Chains A and B, each alone.
Chain A
Amino acid sequence: KQEVTQIPAALSVPEGENLVLNCSFTDSAIYNLQWFRQDPGKGLTSLLLIQSSQREQTSGRLNASLDKSSGRSTLYIAASQPGDSATYLCAVSGTSGTYKYIFGTGTRLKVLA
């Protein structure tokens, strides 16, 4: 049974700092991994999608890496801004059936001005 863990659960950093959010999963047989952002009271916004055959994806100040064999992914945020404050969620999709996503509990990020 796939389990996804995100560390840390919460993080508070000063503006401008580079930071890394971690995601680990127990079953390496994944189809893809997706990082989401959730703002309070809002829905999920997809940030980056990494296919199982890929090692990393970049979008602006965000870079996500995937090491499928070790069951790990990291989300790197460069030069953090107060607007980055949100909950960041990692989700992995299985390789068969419905390909449903298994989510981690998220990392709650606060960037201080």
Chain B
Amino acid sequence: EAGVTQFPSHSVIEKGQTVTLRCDPISGHDNLYWYRRVMGKEIKFLLHFVKESKQDESGMPNNRFLAERTGGTYSTLKVQPAELEDSGVYFCASSWRPHSDYGYTFGSGTRLTVV
């Protein structure tokens, strides 16, 4: 089966611009998660979708971040306007169930650099 796909793999944008990250989960996985790692810090949870619904968005840093999951398939994470502190690697993961006995499958991430 295809894995979790994220694109772009890298994005460099100027402060104040808008960037949209995309994640395609493994087919059939209802649960989709976004995480991010900023420089020198641990990977942190952003939010969790169950199909198209946001189950938990407690990790979203502020209202400049907007996540959507159209029709319960792929998901996008938009940052508008981007700030310097948004730089980092954004990971997407998916699983069949939230308390998966097989854990998550992560994508390779999108490295975002805001200059």
Contact = CB atoms under 8 A, between A and B. Distances in A.
Interface of A: 4, 31-32, 34, 36, 41-46, 49, 51, 89, 91, 93, 97-106
Nearest to B59: A100
B74 interface: no
Interface string B72-115: 00000000000000000001010000111111111111010000
14 contacts: A31-B99, A32-B103, A36-B106, A41-B111, A43-B91, A51-B101, A93-B103, A98-B33, A99-B100, A100-B48, A101-B35, A101-B104, A103-B44, A106-B42
Contact of B108 (A43, A103, A106): A43
Interface residues of B, number: 27
Given A98-B55, A99-B98, A46 B44 contact: no
B56 A97 contact: yes
A32 B104 CA distance: 11
Closest 7 CB pairs of A and B: A43-B108, A44-B106, A103-B43, A98-B56, A98-B48, A49-B103, A100-B45
Contacts of A91: 43
Contacts of B35: 101, 103
A59 to B, nearest CB: 13
